[in-house]
Amino acid sequence: MLSNEQLHLIEEMGVYHERRGMSPIPGRILGLFVVSDKDAYTFDEIKEILKISKSATSSALNFLVSTDRIEYTTLPGDRKRYFKWSPFKALENIERETNNMFSIAEMFRRAYELKNNKQSESANNLLMVMDFFNYMIMELPNLYNKWKRSYYK
Amino acid sequence: MLSNEQLHLIEEMGVYHERRGMSPIPGRILGLFVVSDKDAYTFDEIKEILKISKSATSSALNFLVSTDRIEYTTLPGDRKRYFKWSPFKALENIERETNNMFSIAEMFRRAYELKNNKQSESANNLLMVMDFFNYMIMELPNLYNKWKRSYYK
DNA sequence: TTTTTAGTTCTGTATTTGCAGAACTAAAAA
DNA sequence: TTTTTAGTTCTGCAAATACAGAACTAAAAA
């Protein structure tokens, strides 16, 4: 079903996600979805392909669903869940990273307010970084929209 | 020296970095640099303020220096190192994140090449995400440059 | 009613991590 | 020459993590 090259690439993607703080199995599941030809997998298929336990499969899938990285559909008269990777959700998540910049920018703002000497080098450095973040927070949504327009035109 | 609010904010920034995969102490050291008024700290000062061991201080500082998050200067006739947060390095690191997008985009490209059916939904989904990443890799440097011009004008 | 299915939850464990504390080192100072 | 300084490296441990395997559950099928 999956070639050795594909399995190897899944591992690479797993490591990529691990390096950003995700645990191994969820990262590999994401890799599986990106690499494989099938666009939906059941619990048991994922478990078998990645050779992992039911408990690990269960918690990884629930984690990925709860963090909006994958989704599942069900079929009438079929209790299985069909998990799939949603590229739209993936892009939405990247866009949501802007909120993330927002949260660190907010911490920077508070740090600046707490500075005793607002003329210090340290305060000026912080002001510069704050300016950059505020700029990105303003401009990134425009960039995303520009891409959407170009993609869907 | 540092108020309770400042110490609390340092912890918050530490947690922020932890959530992105950094270990606790380096994250708090970064927080210290952002929050405090002083713009340079010695090994021992950091150790005392954060109440951590020499070994933890040593490995955290070396980690932060080696990943270009902080830097240090020395003074003639003084063996101490004076560590400081460089906002320029910080911004460079954010820019360097583009390379990071480049590495995942490259994995996507390989995944696409390995697909057996390039007409599948899965293949089309991947193409879309690849298009987005390639767009961002093209456009982000322009955005950074636009900020620089606006900031330094 | 019993069995199967599609999981979830619990229990235990091997591995990893994050750190402290102690021992060590190399250069400078006394 | 001995002591101090500014760290680094080593040793050991407590806590967290990531998982397997077993027990469990709730709904559907037989």
Instruction: Give pLDDT tens digits for B123-138.
Output: 999 999 999 999 999 9
Question: Nearest-CA residue to the C1' of C20?
Answer: B53
**Å between A98 CA and C26 C1'?**
48
Strand D contact at CB of residue B78, distance < 7 A = yes
What is the band of B146 on the pLDDT scale with cuts at 50, 70, 90?
very high
Order of strands, sheet of B70-75, starting from the edge strand that comes earlier in the sequence: B41-42, B78-85, B70-75
Strand C contact at CB of residue B55, distance < 7 A = yes
Which of A20, A94, A121 shows the shortest C-beta gap to B20? Answer: A20
- For residue B98, what pLDDT is reported? 86
Q: What is the CA radius of gyration of chain B?
A: 21
**Average predicted confidence (pLDDT) for chain B:** 97
Q: How far is A52 from chain B (nearest CA, A)?
A: 22
C-alpha dihedral, B95 to B98 to B100 to B103, nearest 10°: -150
- For residue A153, what pLDDT is reported? 78
Q: How far is A104 from chain B (nearest CA, A)?
A: 8
Q: Note down pLDDT in tens along chain A; length 153 residues.
A: 899 999 999 999 999 999 999 999 999 999 999 999 999 999 999 999 999 999 999 999 999 999 999 999 999 999 999 999 999 999 999 999 888 899 999 999 999 999 999 999 999 999 999 999 999 999 999 999 999 999 987
Q: Which residue type is seen at B51?
A: K
Predicted confidence (pLDDT) per residue in B59-113, tens digit:
999 999 999 999 999 999 999 999 999 999 999 999 998 888 999 999 999 999 9
Strand C contact at CB of residue A55, distance < 7 A = yes
CB B40 within 8 A of CB B84: yes
Nucleotide nearest to B74 (CA to C1'): D6
Q: How far is B117 from chain A (nearest CA, A)?
A: 7
Q: Which residues of chain B are within 8 Å of residue A95 when distances are taken between CB atoms?
A: none
Q: Which residue type is seen at A12?
A: E
Strand D contact at CB of residue B44, distance < 7 A = yes
Q: How far is CA A51 from CA A10, A85, B92, B147, in A?
A: 13, 20, 41, 48
B87/A135 CB distance under 8 A: no
